[in-house]
Amino acid sequence: MIDNSPPHVLGHGGRVLPAVTVDTYNEELRDSEGFVGDRASGRAFRAILDDWRERLRARGDDPFGDTPTSEISKAKLDKLLAAGDPLNAGLVHTAVEEFAQELATVVRRFLRLEGWSGTERIVVGGGLSASRIGELSMGRAAVLLTAEGTAIELQPIRNHPDKAGLIGAVQLAPSWMLAGHDAILAADIGGTNLRVGVVELNMKKGDLSKAAVWKHLHWRHRDDRPTRDEALARIATMMEELMEEAAGQKLKLAPFVGIGCPGLIDEHGVIVSGGQNLPGNWEGDGFNLAVELAGRLPRIHDHEPVVILHNDAVVQGLSEVPAMTDVSQWGVLTIGTGLGNARFTNRVRA
């Protein structure tokens, strides 16, 4: 089914966007043990690995010694998986297998939802998907789902997750609004990391399929434990730095800023729920991220910047719009601090 309802020109947390309708997002499925999505998050993988380490330690064989699981990088796990000692590799393989089963379970639960009915393809993004352990987990989950007869394509996001959450922001505005400009500012605010970037439009006749990150800055805010005001100031500083660099390279920025962040976003730009992992209190009517950030940014080519906010999984999923022309209904799962989710229906284009 293709949606042909008219899009809203601009709006926070918009459901009808230029290319797609956002059927549902930020679903918080629960079972007797809590949120179902927590079973397929980055933290869940670490918990599984930690559990198996404890079992080995009981026999004196933990290959990671005293190193906390939280301090073992994905790159190190990938290396051990490829060429490590058999015990080390076997431990990581075991964690991957168990996590893949959890991911398959989560996918099944989403497909039972009315808003996810008829989903033809699911793209998996988020930080874990960019690693080999994430790729293998996804591949194994796909095998399990296929073997049981669940008709769904499961594939990794095309762009690196660090960039996908920025690239997708170009799909939040109609292409005619961006015409005559070279790029936009975008930010991807997660529970652990924050990225701000300049996304080149590379637009021809309204086609944004070639949009790409020109430059981006990264801040792992969880390490610094900033207050909300400190985080906002840092975001604004990062954006101003990129604005100056873009001006130096004669890149004409549109007075538009696309922001992706966790949670349910209302039409006023308020984070209604789901922002618990952000630094400070970002939820509720007492705080408006779009308004606060816009007030800290300088004018862009004599225009006040318009800041549009949407859920981070939605924005990351929107980076896949150019690759989804062969399906009608598709979704995204992002494996990060938590599990982000969104389901889309493609719209009819004139």
Query: Does 307 map to a domain?
Result: yes
Query: Does 116 map to a domain?
Result: yes
Q: Please spell the DSSP secondary structure of 222-255, one letter per residue.
A: HHH---HHHHHHHHHHHHHHHHHHHHHTT--EEE
Query: Does 238 map to a domain?
Result: yes
Show the domain range for 105.
Answer: 30-155
d(CA 182, CA 131): 32
From 155, 179, 197, the end of a domain falls on 155
180 DSSP assignment: T
Query: Does 11 map to a domain?
Result: no
pLDDT value at position 222?
Answer: 87
Residue at token pair 């590379």: 202
pLDDT value at position 323?
Answer: 95
Count structural domains, the chain.
Answer: 2
Low-confidence ranges of the chain (pLDDT < 70): 1-9, 32-35, 349-350
d(CA 124, CA 292): 31
Give the angle subtended at the CA of 126 by the CAs of 172 and 233, to the nearest 5°. Answer: 65
For residues 74 and 210, state if they share a domain. Answer: no
Q: Kindly tell me the burial class for residue 294, based on how many C-beta atoms sit within 10 Å of its own C-beta (0-12, 13-18, 19 or more).
A: middle
CATH of the domain at 303: 3.30.420.40
pTM of the model: 0.90
For residues 126 and 169, state if they share a domain. Answer: no
Angle formed by the axes of helices 86-111 and 42-57, to 10°? 140
For residues 190 and 120, state if they share a domain. Answer: no
pLDDT value at position 350?
Answer: 44
For residues 110 and 187, state if they share a domain. Answer: no
For residues 42 and 100, state if they share a domain. Answer: yes
Query: Does 329 map to a domain?
Result: no
For residues 190 and 129, state if they share a domain. Answer: no
For residues 302 and 212, state if they share a domain. Answer: yes
Query: Does 24 map to a domain?
Result: no
From 139, 155, 171, the end of a domain falls on 155
